[in-house]
Chains A and B, each alone.
Chain A
């Protein structure tokens, strides 16, 4: 089955700095990679996703890059703000097959004002 590793487990940055979270996956059949943000006491919320036929996707201050050959993908947050503080999860899915979602272990991001 798919195995998704996520690093770092915790990340502290000063407000305005950039944050990068990295994930690797094992199943070459995975072709859809979403990122979820989970605030305290809430369920995960999809913030951005990327498919295997593109290498980068950007939405305002957040971007995701994918290296399919190396089987890794990353979340980039620029100009971080205190409200970006949360736990971020990456995930990998084989959309054409069983479609089981495998989540990473999460990264707790703290943005220091």
Chain B
């Protein structure tokens, strides 16, 4: 069974440029999460989807971050414009359902903003 797939693995951009990350969750997993992990820290939730609905985006900086999961399967997280402080690893995770607490993570996208 394929795990959570993320791309790209690495991204280097200059500040003020846009960037997008893509995630394909495990087949059949209805719940999808985007986390941000700063160096030496634990993951912090940005947004959680139940199918195509964003049920928790309270930690998403909406002035520059956006996300979508149009068909309730794969998802895209976008930053526009990127700032130096956005440098981090962006992790996607999925779980079978909202009541299933076991999260399966992708390998993440390491973003460097110069």
Contacts and interface: CB of A to CB of B under 8 A. Distances in A.
Count class of interface residues, chain B: 20 to 34
Contact of A103 (B40, B43, B56, B98): B43
Interface string A5-42: 01000000000000000000000000010101000011
Contacts of B44: 103
Main secondary structure of the interface of A (DSSP, over half): strand
Interface residues of A, number: 24
Given A43-B107, A100-B56, A34 B102 contact: yes
A103 B98 CA distance: 18
Contact of A106 (B4, B42, B45, B102): B42
Interface stretch (A44-52, A53-61, A62-70, A74-82): A44-52
Interface of B: 4, 40-45, 56, 91, 93, 98-99, 101-108
